[in-house]
Each structure stands twice: as C-alpha cells, then as structure tokens.
Amino acid sequence: MVTETKQQPIATLDDLLAGGTELPVLPEIALRIFDEMRSPMVTAAKMAEFVKKDPVLASSVLRIANSALYGGRDKISDLAFSIARVGLNQIRNLLLAMVLRSKMVDPLVYGEEGPQLMDHCLSVAFGAGVVSEAATVEGSEAFMCGLLHDFGKLALIKAFRERSGGVPLNEDETRFVKEWHAEAGAKLAKTWDLPEIVITVAEHHHNPSLAPDEDQPMVAVVSFANALSHKLGLGAEADDEINLIDHPANEILGLAETRVEDMSGYLPGLFKTARSALFG
C-alpha cells in the first residue's frame, strides 16, 4: 500500500525516480533537435539540413506545413520553405511532440493511460498557446510547457508498472500518481536538463500562485489550459463541474467570460486539426 505520511511518499517518490527504476529517457533525436535550436546560427535552411537526415521527420514536416493547421493551400515540397511557413520555434515544438508520442504510448510500458495522457498533453500544449495570446502573456515556451506539464504521470506510471511486472496500477498507486505527479514532473524535467520555466510549470501547474512571481503568468497559462482541456474532455473525461472563471489560474490571468467562451469553442477544433496534422 502506498504511504500516508508526508515523509513516506517523498521517500517513495525519490526511490521511484532515482534508484528504484529507470527514468524515461528523452529520445536522442529530441536532444538533437534541442541542440540545433540552441544555436544562435540556426536558420530554416540549416534546420532543413538536419531534418532531412531522418526521412520520417522530413515527411512529417512536409505533412504539417501542407496541412489545414497552417493553411497550406499552395503545396510545398521544399523542407526549408516548409519550416519557414510553420516557424522555427513551432517546428521544434511539433517535432518534439511527435517524437515523444512515438516513444511514450507503448502499452507494455505505459498501459492504456499512455495514449490518452499524450492526447491530453497535446491539447494543453495548443491550449496554452491560445490562452497566452488571450491573456497577452509572452508565449514562446507555452507549447513546450503545456506538452510536458503532466510527464510526471508518465514517469510514475512507468515506474509502478516496472515494479509490478506490467500489472496495471492499483487504487493506491493511481492516487499516488495523481497526488505526486507534479513533483515527479519537475524531477524529470531537471533530469532532462530542460529550461527552468518547464520545470517550474511541471511543479506548480495545479497551484500557480506558489510559483515564483516572475513565472506565475506562464504557470497560470498552462494551469488554465489544463483546466480548459479537462472541462472539454480533450484527452481526458469531460468535467463540466470545472469553473473556469473562478479558477485559481484566472485570478492571475484575469480572462473575461467572453474570452473564455471563445476559447472553449475554438480549442476542440484546433486540437482535432492539430492531431490530424501531426499523427494522421
């Protein structure tokens, strides 16, 4: 049975994510994408040279650029033009989403929860972009923060299933994942050497007011996008009881009811189009 005192869950968490099991590894191709994007000399042409080395990624970029998601009326067959149409930062985000989804939906590792969690994370990623724009919060890292906000759940699910030889999580383990995934996500993001804002969002996305003052707007953006996705049932069971206007994240963002209604109407279509563009 999973623990009840505060010290015991922390010990269990440390055991699961340190010595007790093997952490999910950020795929090599994702690390290379990050390395390419960190270069101050990166251009669409240079990114195209990198992407074309992987035929699967190259075809994915062309598919995305020509999809309805980016208004591809004039068909593009050139990788550099495709990357320029989508944008360097967004190409990084979308390639990361595709790579992670391909690695983290294995039912033998993540059970039935893996694909659903990845869909939810994708919804929150796109939702975070919508929310950041509506709330006029600088949103260059919104997609990545949204995409990775719940990866602590995947890490803990993997750990518990490895411990049990692939047996689905029991009630206590499921509750542990729900209660401790934020801390697990922060530890995982640190292990992956991700930007500090990604770590902070993972740790505080359920309590944005506990984040450092300078990070609260982005944490609130992802927290609100998470609540919006749950309310709409995007990658999760719909929860009509969620009150978005009075949500703690909106105390920071101050979104008007009309803006929230607009986003609620817009995000399902965006998610459906994006999912189709990314994964066919």
Q: Per-residue pLDDT tens for 243-265?
A: 999 999 999 999 999 999 999 99
Residue 8 lies in a domain: no
pTM assigned to the model: 0.88
Predicted pLDDT at 73: 67
Predicted pLDDT at 5: 41
Shared domain check, 273 and 138: yes
For the chain, the domain total comes to 2
Domain containing 260 — which CATH number? 1.10.3210.10
Last residue of some domain: 42, 69, 103? 103
Shared domain check, 278 and 192: yes
- CA gap 249, 239 in Å, rounded: 17
Tokens 């190259």 found at:
58
Q: Per-residue pLDDT tens for 29-50?
A: 777 777 777 777 888 888 888 8
Shared domain check, 98 and 123: no
Residue 74: band (very low, low, confident or very high) from pLDDT cuts 50, 70, 90: confident
Residue 198 burial class via C-beta count within 10 angstroms: exposed 0-12, middle 13-18, buried 19 and up: buried
Residue 11: band (very low, low, confident or very high) from pLDDT cuts 50, 70, 90: low
Predicted pLDDT at 182: 95
Shared domain check, 262 and 123: yes
The residue segments making up the domain with residue 61 are 25-103
Predicted pLDDT at 9: 56
- Indicate if the pLDDT at residue 270 is higher than 50: yes
Shared domain check, 137 and 45: no
Per the prediction, the chain carries an average pLDDT of: 87
Shared domain check, 122 and 237: yes
Shared domain check, 115 and 66: no
